[in-house]
Amino acid sequence: METDKERIIIFDTTLRDGEQAPGCSMTLEEKVRVARQLECLNVDVIEAGFPITSPGDFESVRQISKAVTEPIVAGLARCVEADIDRAGEALADAKKGRIHVFLATSRIHREHKLKKDRGQIIKLATEGVRRARDYQTDVEFSPEDASRTEPDFLREVVEAAIDAGATTVNIPDTVGYAVPFQFAELIEMLKSEVSNIDRAIISVHCHDDLGMALANSLAAVKAGARQVECTINGLGERAGNCSLEEVVMALATRKDFFGVETGVHTRQIMNTSRLVTTVTGIQVPPNKAIVGRNAFAHEAGIHQDGVLKKKDTYEIMRPEDIGLEHGHIVLGKHSGRHAFTTRLEEMGIHLDQERLEHAFQEFKRLADKKKEIYDEDVEALAREETEDVPDIFKLVNFHTTSGISVTPTATVCVEVNGEEVKTDAAIGDGPVDAVYRAIDRITGIRCELRDYSIRAITGGKDAMGQVALEIAANGVIERGRAARTDIIEASAVAYLSAVNRVVKRTRNGQAQKGERPGV
Ligand code: KIV
Ligand code: ZN
């Protein structure tokens, strides 16, 4: 639909800044899957990684460049030749590529981190942008810690970067220090005082250390910024980045005030949020705006009464606008293959024939145990199918005993390489620990369990429990996930999935992710 509203560019950095959050790393396959979903969401730019930091980051930028066609794919680089060359190389196949170069400009970073004076910073920024332009015509420059940079120097750096060829100038509130009124003034100052600002888009990138990332981003839009950098579920360094779903829905719901629009297909928000939750294992708090479980739940009697009489009394957005069919029972015991496939398609999940058939069989198995099957259940089943984990070790059966004054024991049967079935038993601190010890004896791999969490996917006593865990073994760290109505089975399957990933990675000789320099 054509409108006369100005367009805000949505730059998603879930796969770069989001992935920097502790415990948030994703595999290559997961990143490509998220990138495809971001394309369905219709974001304008996907920052796919920081190629110099590790072979994994390089590969993800390269693969995402090939996997998506509509959004611009961005790769991050410091103003360092090797970084820029590596980003240029990773983006070579992108239909629309962007190199995003950054350099700290605040006094504290200049003096203590970089040990460079103002003149040297201007020179490095200029050279960095010019080198990036050798690879891509679309170049973004970020003066890191811009919100704590002296305004006169920020103006000078931004002007120099645009002169050198930057087409977007991004103003990061790197440490989440800005407050909306002041941040808006900073954007207004750049807009009116940088002589060549009409040759570049002003972008903002806000962190949430003081809980003001969204407010700062919106204030910047009101002041003239035309690109917002954000992440799904607000993931990102420390307290995270401005959350995509919040900024997009704020601009849509209050278009009367902001007078701008984004191209985001808001009905894909829930699918995207769930996918990111699944692949990162980082749960969304129930009260999180837009995508939290309670965001559209009306608990107070007065509110329920009002909503039943007229939704607008207490609802400023419709749940369906973000793709939420809340509390909707999608399928049951009698649902057929067609209903199941249609629902998956509606949820944006695409499986090949073999995986679809397997997911359908699992769904039938679940329907025998659970009367009402919700979107979240279907999603959990289907997501397991999309994980590219080889079935080197596959759970066949298990038996556990536990109780007060009883030593927990487990007997576990595992199929190895689709050939033999091995059985072993162990005791442990609890039934799950006993299962894990028995599995270690079967696989011969000693694993350290670094993280383990379990949550009910939906309400009700028959809800599936989803286990997400992280193990360290053979010098690598891997994650596993599984959802079952039996939580010990879910724990065993999740563990074996992580072990299978370890074996796959060790066989491929892949090293662990490297440290990220300088961000
Ligand atoms: O927070 C920050 O400053 C960044 C830059 C690399 C844009 O993430
Ligand atoms: Zn950041």
What's the sign of the alpha-carbon dihedral 131, 134, 136, 139?
positive
Q: Is the CB of 33 within 6 Å of ligand 1?
A: no
Taking phi over 0 as left and psi of -120 to 50 as alpha, with beta for the rest, 165 belongs to left
Domain residue ranges of the chain, discontinuous segments joined by +: 9-280, 295-323, 326-386, 393-508
CA angle in degrees (0–180, nearest 5) for 248-252-256: 140
CATH classification of 9-280 is 3.50.50.60, yes or no?
no
- Residue 181: what pLDDT? 98
Q: What is the pLDDT of residue 515?
A: 35
Residue nearest to atom 5 of ligand 1 (CA): 144
Of ligand 1's listed atoms, the one at least distance from the Cα of 241 is 1
8 A C-beta contact, residue 398 and residue 428: no
pLDDT in 10s for each residue of the chain, 519 residues: 556 789 999 999 999 999 988 777 788 988 999 999 999 999 999 999 999 999 999 999 999 999 999 999 999 999 999 999 999 999 999 999 999 999 999 999 999 999 999 999 999 999 999 999 999 999 999 999 999 999 999 999 999 999 999 999 999 999 999 999 999 999 999 999 999 999 999 999 999 999 999 999 999 999 999 999 999 999 999 999 999 999 999 999 999 999 999 999 999 999 999 899 888 888 899 899 999 988 887 656 665 666 666 677 777 999 999 998 644 556 777 788 888 888 888 777 888 898 899 999 989 988 888 877 888 888 888 878 877 778 899 999 999 999 999 999 999 999 999 999 999 999 999 999 999 999 999 999 999 999 998 988 877 788 899 898 999 999 998 889 899 999 999 999 999 999 999 998 888 765 433 333 334
Query: Does 449 sit in the ligand 1 pocket, CB within 6 Å?
Result: no
**If we measure between CA atoms, which residue out of 283, 186, 183, 199 comes closest to residue 233?**
283
- 164 forms beta bridges with none
Using alpha carbons only, what angle is made at residue 240 by residues 235 and 244, rounded to the nearest 5 degrees?
55
Which atom of ligand 1 is nearest the CA belonging to 175?
1
The pLDDT score that the predictor gives to residue 380 is 85
Radius of gyration of the chain, Cα coordinates, nearest whole angstrom:
25
d(CA 139, CA 129): 7
Cα separation of 282 and 276, whole Å? Answer: 8
Domain covering 393-508 in this structure, CATH number: 3.30.160.270
- 3-class state of residue 478 by DSSP: strand
Q: How far is the CA of 110 from the centre of ligand 1 (A)?
A: 15
Ligand 1 pocket, mutate which of 50, 106, 207, 216 (most atoms under 8 A from CB): 207
**pLDDT at residue 391, rounded to an integer:** 86
* Cross-strand pairs, 149: none
- Whole-angstrom distance, CA of residue 147 vs CA of residue 145: 6
Ligand 1, from 174, 175, 516: best to mutate by most atoms within 8 Å of Cβ? 174
* Gap from CA of 214 to ligand 2 centroid (Å): 14
Output the CA torsion 86→92→94→96 (10° steps).
Answer: 90
CB neighbour list of residue 343: distance below 8 Å, 6 or more residues apart: 330, 331, 375, 378
Report the nearest atom of ligand 1 relative to the CA of 102: 6
- For every residue of 128-194, DSSP letters joined together read HHHHHHHH-S-EEEEEETGGGS-HHHHHHHHHHHHHHT-SEEEEEETTS---HHHHHHHHHHHHHH-
